[in-house]
Homo-oligomer: A and B are copies of this chain.
């Protein structure tokens, strides 16, 4: 059994590179013959993951890299987004944390919700002080679907 093909991408944790990630993944997903709607869903989920790493993981003055890996399975695309930022407690009530946020923070707390509703699988692992890893999986819809 041949191992699946992998594409890796590393970008600075800076907003102007999210569109580069979207371009790259649209190429990967098109090659896998995902439908246009699925490609759009994949772009949103991946952008949300990168947005979180840029907005929440790093202090404004110490921007690191974000590592993105695409694993091209026969019937699905796996995407792993990893930052080396501050991490967070994934079991805490995230909404509660939101209430203290500044009025200039426009986050609606929808990023992780979108990822969960647009992807077939999503799993987040975060270690305080070490960083966060988000794994997502989108299945290729079968022709019968």
Contact = CB atoms under 8 A, between A and B. Distances in A.
Interface of A: 5-12, 14, 16-17, 19-20, 22-24, 26-28, 31, 65
B16 A6 contact: no
A12 B5 contact: yes
B27 A20 contact: yes
Number of identical monomers bound together in the oligomeric complex: 2
Nearest to A67: B8
A31 B10 CA distance: 16
Contact of A7 (B9, B22, B27, B31): B9
Contacts of A11: 7
B27 A19 contact: yes
Contact of A16 (B10, B16, B31): B31
Contacts of A16: 31
Contacts of A22: 27
A9 B23 contact: no
